[in-house]
Chain A
Amino acid sequence: MTMDWLSGYGLQLIFGAVTMLSVALVALVVGTVLGISLGTAKIYGAKPLRYSAEAYTAVVRGVPDLIVIYLIYFGGTVALTKITGQYVDINGFAAGVAALAFIFAAYAGDIFRGAIGQVPRGQTEAAHALGLSPRAAFFRIILPQAWRLALPGFGNLAIILIKQTSLISVIGLEELLRASSVISGATRQPFLVYSVAAILYLIITSIVSWGFRNAGIRSNRGFA
C-alpha cells in the first residue's frame, strides 16, 4: 500500500497538481491581459466598445463556469470538425485554459476598472502637462499605480482560478481532481484520496494567498 503511494499514485497526484498549476498559470496570464483590455475599454472605450465589454461581463457573471467550459470544449470540437471536415477532438488543456481565461478576464476587468478609477486625476494631468503621450501616461503612470490597488482583488481572483481548474476535470484533462478520481477508483479509498487532494489544494491556495499578501506589502513601497 505504502509502496503504491510512493511509486505510482503519489506521482500521479503530483503530475495532476503540476497540470493544474500550468492551466492556472497560462489562464492567469491570458486572463490578465484580456482583463486589463476589458477594464480599459470600459473606462476609455467608445460607446459600442464599452457596452460590449459590459455585456461580456454580465454574461460571464450570470452563467455557471461549467456551461462556459462545455460551450468552449464541445462547441470548439463541433466548429473545428465543421471547418476541417473531419472529427477533431479539441485539446482539453487549450479548451480549459481558454474557458478559465475568459471567465477570469470578466472579473479582472472590473477590478482593473475600479483600480484605474481610483488613481487620482491629477496623475493623468501631471503626465499630460509633462508632455507624455496618452500611451506613455497610461503604461508608465496609471497602470503601475492601478496595479497596486488591484492587487488584493486580483489575488483573490487568482485563488478562485486555482480552485476553478478542478472544473476542467469534466472535459477529461487529468489535473489534480481528475487524477484523484482515477486513483480513488483504483484504490477504492475515495475518502482518503480526495482528502489528500484537498490538503494539496489547501497548501497551494495558502501559498498563493500568502504570496499575494507579500507582494501587496512590497508594492506599497513609496506609498505612506
Chain B
Amino acid sequence: MESCSSEGGTVVMSAVTKRFGSFAALKGIGLSVDRGEKIVICGPSGSGKSTLIRCINRIEKHDGGSIVVEGCLLDHRLTNIDKVRREVGMVFQSFNLFPHMTVLENCMLAPMLVRGLKAAEAEDVAISYLRRVRIADQAAKYPSQLSGGQQQRVAIARAMCMKPKIMLLDEPTSALDPEMVKEVLNTMIELAGDGMTMICVTHEMGFARQVADRVIFMDEGAIVEEGAPEQFFRQPKTQRARDFLSQVLH
C-alpha cells in the first residue's frame, strides 16, 4: 500500500515543472542520481538550480512531472514527505540555524523530535558530528556568537545528525566571507569522502573538479548540459556553458 520501494536510483526526477506565477522556474527536468554519487549543479542566477534541489525535499512544491526519492513518490501525501525529509538533509545558503537555541540544541532538536532519540543519545550524536566539523568546543554558544563559516559547519553537522542518505547543499558558501569559504569546502570534501550521496548547487568550480562525479549546467529552468567535470570544464558543448564558465573562472 505504501508507494515507497527500493528500486532504481536514489533520486529520480522526470519531466518536473515548476512555475512561480507566470515565470517558469523549471521546464521539464529529468535527472537520475545514483547512490553515493556527487552531483554539482551550476548555472547563472535565476536558472532554477536552487528551485530544483528544493523540490527534492519538498521545500518547494513541483507542479508537474514526478520526483521519486529513496523509492518514495513525492506527491500531496504528507506521509511520504515526512519519510523523504527524514532521509534527506539540507544545508542552506543562509545557514538558517535556529537563533534561539544553542549550537548543541540546534543539532539535538530533530533527532529527538523526529527520530525519537532520548536527550542523552541525541547529545552523543550531536557531539560526535560537531567534533567531525571541528566545532564541538562551541557547542554551548548561540549561532550569533559564531562566524559565518562556523555557523555553516554547524548547519552541516545539524543535517548530519539526522543520518540522512542524501545531502542537498544550496550554495553553501555564497553567503560567506572569502576567508571562510575554505573551511566549509573542506568539511564538504570530507563529507563526500564518506560516500554520502550529495547534490550541491555551487559556483566553486575547484570543489566541483575535486569531488563531483557529474556536473550539471542549468539555464532558464532546464538542464542544458551534463557530464564528468573534466570533460565539462575542458570542452563545454554549448555556447551558454562556455559563456558561464568564462565568467566564473575569469
A58 to B101, CA, bound (A): 36
Ordered by A's residue number, 27 sampled pairs between the chains whose C-beta atoms are within 8 Å are A120-B96, A122-B92, A122-B96, A123-B98, A125-B96, A126-B96, A126-B98, A128-B57, A128-B58, A129-B59, A129-B85, A129-B88, A129-B159, A130-B109, A130-B114, A130-B158, A133-B113, A141-B98, A145-B98, A145-B99, A145-B100, A148-B100, A221-B142, A222-B100, A223-B142, A224-B144, A224-B145
**CB pair B143 A222 closer than 8 Å:** yes
Considering the complex, give the chain B residue whose CB is closest to the CB of A137: B113
Contacts of B158 in A (CB 8 A): 130
1/0 per residue B164-185: CB within 8 Å of A?
0000100000000000000000
Contacts of A130 in B (CB 8 A): 85, 89-90, 109-110, 114, 158-159, 162
Contacts of B86 in A (CB 8 A): 131
Contacts of A223 in B (CB 8 A): 99-100, 142, 144
Q: Does A198 contact B (CB under 8 A)?
A: no
Which of A125, A129, A136 interacts with B113 by CB under 8 Å? A136
Contacts of A126 in B (CB 8 A): 90, 92, 96-98
Q: Does A172 contact B (CB under 8 A)?
A: no
Q: Does A45 contact B (CB under 8 A)?
A: no
Contacts of A221 in B (CB 8 A): 142
Considering the complex, give the chain A residue whose CB is closest to the CB of B161: A130
Q: Does B47 contact A (CB under 8 A)?
A: no
Q: Does A140 contact B (CB under 8 A)?
A: yes
Contacts of B88 in A (CB 8 A): 129
Q: Does A34 contact B (CB under 8 A)?
A: no
Q: Does A132 contact B (CB under 8 A)?
A: yes
Q: Does A211 contact B (CB under 8 A)?
A: no
1/0 per residue B80-91: CB within 8 Å of A?
001001101110
Q: Does A185 contact B (CB under 8 A)?
A: no
Question: Could you tell me the distance in whole angstroms from the C-beta of A124 to the nearest C-beta in chain B?
Answer: 9
For chain B, the count of residues having a C-beta within 8 Å of the partner chain is 31
A125 to B109, CA, bound (A): 15
A69 to B96, CA, bound (A): 45
Q: Beyond A128-B85, A130-B114, is A222–B144 a contact (Cβ under 8 Å)?
A: yes
Apart from A123-B98, A126-B90, what 9 extra A-B contacts exist at CB < 8 Å?
A126-B96, A128-B59, A129-B168, A130-B114, A130-B162, A131-B110, A132-B114, A140-B113, A222-B99
Considering the complex, give the chain B residue whose CB is closest to the CB of A129: B90
Considering the complex, give the chain B residue whose CB is closest to the CB of A121: B96
**CB pair A122 B94 closer than 8 Å:** yes
Contacts of A140 in B (CB 8 A): 109, 113
Which of B85, B100, B101, B143 interacts with A131 by CB under 8 Å? B85
Q: Using a CB-CB cutoff of 8 Å, which residues 88-131 of chain A contact chain B?
A: 120, 122-123, 125-131
Q: Dominant SS at the A interface? A: helix
**CB pair A133 B82 closer than 8 Å:** yes
Contacts of B101 in A (CB 8 A): 222
Q: Does A75 contact B (CB under 8 A)?
A: no
**CB pair B100 A125 closer than 8 Å:** no
Considering the complex, give the chain A residue whose CB is closest to the CB of B60: A125
**CB pair A132 B98 closer than 8 Å:** no
Considering the complex, give the chain A residue whose CB is closest to the CB of B115: A131
Q: Using a CB-CB cutoff of 8 Å, which residues 141-157 of chain B contact chain A?
A: 142-145
Which of A122, A129, A133, A144 interacts with B100 by CB under 8 Å? A144
A144 to B106, CA, bound (A): 14
Considering the complex, give the chain B residue whose CB is closest to the CB of A219: B100
Considering the complex, give the chain A residue whose CB is closest to the CB of B98: A141
A122 to B50, CA, bound (A): 13
Contacts of B162 in A (CB 8 A): 130-131
Considering the complex, give the chain A residue whose CB is closest to the CB of B88: A129
Question: Could you tell me the distance in whole angstroms from the C-beta of A137 to the nearest C-beta in chain B?
Answer: 10
Contacts of B96 in A (CB 8 A): 120, 122-123, 125-126
Considering the complex, give the chain B residue whose CB is closest to the CB of A148: B100
Which of B59, B110, B144, B145 interacts with A125 by CB under 8 Å? B59
Q: Using a CB-CB cutoff of 8 Å, which residues 68-125 of chain B contact chain A?
A: 82, 85-86, 88-90, 92, 94, 96-102, 109-110, 113-114
Question: Could you tell me the distance in whole angstroms from the C-beta of B174 to the nearest C-beta in chain A?
Answer: 14
Instruction: List the 4 closest A-B pairs by CB distance, nearest first.
Output: A222-B142, A126-B96, A130-B110, A129-B90
